Amino acid sequence: MSQRTRINNFKDIQLKTGGNIVAVLNRGDGSKEYWYANNIVTNQGDRYYSATIVGTAFPAATSTADFKASNWMHLGTSTTAAAKTDTGPGSSIVSGSIALTSGYPAVNASDVDSDNTGGNAYNIVSWGYSFGTGVANVNSINEGAVLAGSLVGNGTCLTHFLFGASFNKTSSDTLKIFVNHTFSGV
């Protein structure tokens, strides 16, 4: 379940929702809005994580992509549910993509962004993205996907998610999105 809320920290959001995706919309007036969602790690994402854990290359039969080396968040307007077979957002927003923020992926104390306090644990991998005032200024942002590369449709998608309600970003706003994948062993 996704929804919009105005509260002051990620940890409160995570405790209330269990959502592992958090979008922090910093409005031009200094206020913050938090949007959250749960994601689907795609088939390609499963293959990437398993290959990384055992120290092998991402399977060439599916792709040679390396999400850590070439990782982009793509935003979209589709409301179609995320699925394991997804290869990107359902309807990508022109100028709605951004490369992985420097310092990510991160675990535990290496994630120093105070907006992502829920990502600070040894069993959580956090991916972070920062959209400046000149990027993704559109109405009806409904979805996001993490792709290996800047091109939508390249077939290599780590994760896809939908927010429960759309939100708008203007040229006065900045947006941060955190994807926190927890490896719980259950």
Give the pLDDT confidence score for residue 107 in this predicted structure.
Answer: 83
> What's 3's DSSP letter?
-
Q: Do 27 and 172 touch, CB atoms closer than 8 A?
A: yes
Q: Do 90 and 143 touch, CB atoms closer than 8 A?
A: yes
Sheet holding 92-99, edge to edge: 39-41, 157-167, 141-147, 72-76, 92-99
The residues of the chain scoring below 50 in pLDDT are 1-17, 61
Q: What percent of the chain has pLDDT over 70?
A: 80
Give the pLDDT confidence score for residue 186 in this predicted structure.
Answer: 58
Give the pLDDT confidence score for residue 44 in this predicted structure.
Answer: 86
Alpha helices in 1-155 (DSSP H): 10-17, 43-54
Nearest to 74 by CA among 4, 158, 13, 18: 158
> In a 10 Å sphere around its CB, with 0-12 CB exposed, 13-18 middle and 19+ buried, how is residue 42 labelled?
buried
Instruction: State the Cα angle at 68 between 165 and 119, rounded to 5°.
Output: 55
pTM over 0.85: no
